[in-house]
Structure 1
Amino acid sequence: MQISDMQPWQWPDSHWQGLVDRVRAGRRLRPTKWKNGARLAVALAFDSDHETSELRDGGKSIGRLAWGQYGNRIGIPRILSLLERHGVPASFYVPAVTALLHPDEQRAITAAGHEIGVHGWIHELNSVLNYKDERDLMERSIDTLEKICGVRPKGLRSPSADFSENTLQLLVELGFTYDSSLGADDDCYELMLNGKPSGVVEIPFEWVRDDAVYFMMHRHQGLRPYTPPSDVFDIFRRELDAAHAEGGLFELTMHPHVITYRSRIWIVEEIIKHAKALGDVWFATHAEIVEWAKEHSE
């Protein structure tokens, strides 16, 4: 009997063990202290999906494309203004198609000192791609962002955190420093590939620290979540407070076309203010945090 014809409980041990071992968390990378003696590292991320949220599934809805355009016209300017006001850096994960649609946006982000990372070509799902196609799209995405921004990206966030069996292998082959798609820990850790250290660091992503799960909706589907902004802030704040108490990392993921409405943008500002009020906090890009964790963890 072929593996494809078997039920999971019929698999030989070697098969399920291989699935589990393909990508695993290795050594934890939590420094005793962060830069400047800080107790907590804060990593703010914005996934600039924009119009690719609709395009990636072959969608043609004018309304959904307009919603994505809001991220460029209103979202990014509001975010950049807020970050400048508070003197805080952030990381922006950008699909290559977003960068091609809005190249001046990416140049403005880079000019302000923020990080640009890879977020797929058109926000595609990596798990449905074969090795050749995934590599091709990843290479094209890197080249597009580097050409537009003048800086080669160091990190990847797989679109929709959809990690294929080949994604880590490609990160190694293409020289990425880190990934931010997986969540096997609260702190940075080294990714293991087939039981061996890959050299690629994971800065954990988790849906509980993502605005989309609380606010996103789709008129033509059954997607109708809605959590009051005050409750979302409370969740994020509790995550931040616990990370500070432990002396670790607080990573927060947001979307320009989701978080920047007038009734929600205050969440970002209050999180920044709350973190600063705690004291002993280092705000940094994902790339900076990964580099510090690699060099200063036992």
Structure 2
Amino acid sequence: MSRRPDGHDRRDLRGDWARDPIAPPWPDGRRLAVSFVVNVEEGAELSIGDGDERNESVYEIREAVETGPDLCMESHFAYGPRRGYRRIVAAFAKHGVRATFSTCGRAAERLPWLIADAASRGHEISCHGWRWERHAQMRPDVEAAIIARTHAAIETAAGVAPVGWHTRSAPSARTRELLVAHGGFLYDSDCYDDDQPRIEDVGGRAHVVLPYAFDTNDMRFSPGGGFVQADDFTTYVAGAFRRLLREAEHEARMLSVGLHLRLIGRPGRIAGLENLLRIMAAERGVWFATRAEIARAWRDATAASPR
């Protein structure tokens, strides 16, 4: 077992198991914080046509093009900003929900009108890397440059500096440290291990970690993911929502719902989001919030006692 210099396990598998529960710190006595995250990756997927080393291979199709541009894959990704985006923001607008648009830097440069529109609607624009790629095993100098470039691109497109970060899948061992060193980041979402936020001491600074989720996520519409019909998405996520709402009667809980323009934005799937929003909006004690709002609420309520 790998241990830190202080002798403790480098992995925290215990969490708050033996600690007193934290009461929900959400405003107006709300019990459950619900965070919708819209991943904006279109135009940032790997593409030989854009000078990248290879073409993206992760989507609903499995026909990788090894050499030259993959025009089929590019067209599938293009569906998101061309059509899916408008359906998603219309569903949010109907229920007054503000989401976090987790955006790749290269996508923000290519989709300035989309980012400007989302920001004008009150949605948060956060960072999702420069390209849609993992950061695991990146050299620290390369990763630091990517973080800086992404932060600048999002600020330019949104008109306000971003405060959040989420790496596609695996971050590097130093991603969190580099985010804090860059400055300007309040939180990251590079963990999947809990149903409530936490404060971590990173380089002497209180940094908020907001867990994300791959199960309550439209990525499960991909082959083998388990979602086929729009109702599959609604039923599963609504089940998680109802369970966390019950648990939130006694301690703090948040629910992350991951969306993608090119996935849930399809005509056969958008009803899954619309019906889920209707179910959630009918319940009392729910706080629909951006991740920045959740991070600030958690920091203000618990920063004095890092966990």
TM score, norm. by length of structure 2: 0.82
SS for the counterpart of 2:199 is strand
- Count residues with an aligned counterpart: 278
Query: How far apart in 1 are the matches of 2:14 and 2:151?
Result: 25
Q: CA deviation at 1:231?
A: 2.4
Q: In the alignment, which of 193, 206, 214 is matched to residue 199 of structure 1?
A: 206
1:139 paired residue among 129, 132, 148: 148
1:64, distance to aligned residue in structure 2 (A) = 0.8
Q: Counterpart of 1:173?
A: 181
Paired residues of 2:4 and 2:10 also in contact (CA < 8 A): no
Partner SS for 1:47: strand
How far does the alpha carbon of each residue in 1:171-212 deviate from its partner, in whole angstroms, 9 at most, with x for none?
21122100112022110112355xx77511111112112211
User: Residue 20 in 1 paired to residue 10 in 2?
Assistant: yes
Instruction: Indicate which of 269, 272, 289 corresponds to 1:267.
Output: 272
| Unaligned runs of at least 5 residues, structure 1 | 1-10, 218-223
Q: Which residue of 1 aligns with 2:41?
A: 49
Correspondence for 2:64:
none
In structure 1, what residue type is equivalent to 2:34? V
Task: Show the 5 A alignment for 1:272-291.
Answer: 272-291=277-296
Which structure's relative contact order is higher, taking Cα pairs within 8 Å and 6+ residues apart? Answer: 1
Taking the TM superposition and a 5 Å limit, the aligned residue runs for 1:1-298 are 20=10, 30-55=22-47, 58-59=54-55, 60-159=69-168, 161-175=169-183, 176-193=185-202, 198-212=205-219, 214-217=220-223, 224-229=224-229, 230-247=231-248, 248-297=253-302
Q: Residue 280 and residue 142 in structure 1: after superposition, are their counterparts in 2 closer, same or farther (change >3 A)?
A: same
Higher mean C-alpha deviation, range 135-144 or range 201-210 = 201-210
| Amino acid of the structure 2 residue aligned with 1:203 | L
Query: Following the alignment from structure 1 to structure 2, what is the Cα–Cα distance between the partners of residues 25 and 153?
Result: 28
2:131 is paired with a residue of what secondary structure? coil
Contact 2:129/2:146 (<8 A) preserved: yes
Displacement of 1:253 in angstroms is 0.8
> Residues 206-226 of structure 1, C-alpha deviation per residue, up to 9 Å, x if partnerless?
2112211x1125xxxxxx545
Higher helix share: 1
Instruction: Measure, in 2, the Cα distance between the counterparts of 1:29 and 1:183.
Output: 19
User: Any runs of at least 4 consecutive aligned residues in structure 1 with deviations exceeding 6 A, and if so which?
Assistant: 22-29
TM superposition score normalised by structure 1? 0.85
- Could you say what secondary structure the match of 2:263 adopts? helix
User: What runs of 5+ residues in structure 2 fail to find an aligned partner?
Assistant: 56-68
> Structure 1 residues 238 and 28 mapped into 2: Cα distance closer, same or farther (>3 Å)?
farther
Give 3-state SS (helix, strand or coil) of 1:128's partner: coil
- SS at structure 2 position matched to 1:258: coil
1:241-291: per-residue Cα shift (whole Å, max 9, x none)?
A: 111111121111111111111121111112211112121111110000111
Q: For the Cα contact (< 8 Å) 2:35–2:257, is it kept in 1?
A: yes
Alpha carbons of structure 1 residues 283 and 205: separation in structure 2 relative to 1, 3 Å: same
Give the deviation of 1:232 after TM superposition: 2.5
Give the aligned residue type for 1:62. L
Distance, in Å, in 1 between the alignment partners of 2:3 and 2:226 is: 42
Letter in 1 for 2:241: L
Cα offset, 1:147, TM superposition: 1.3
Shift of 1:238: 1.0
1: CA distance between counterparts of 2:181 and 2:113? Answer: 30
| CA RMSD between the two structures | 2.7
Percentage of matched positions with identical amino acids: 25
Q: Deviations over 1:139-193 (max 9, x none)?
A: 000011111211100000112x311101010121122100112022110112355
| Per-residue deviation, 1:128 | 3.0
CA contact (8 A) 1:191 1:197 kept: no
Q: Distance in 2 between matches of 1:124 and 1:57?
A: 12
| Residue identity matched to 1:45 | V
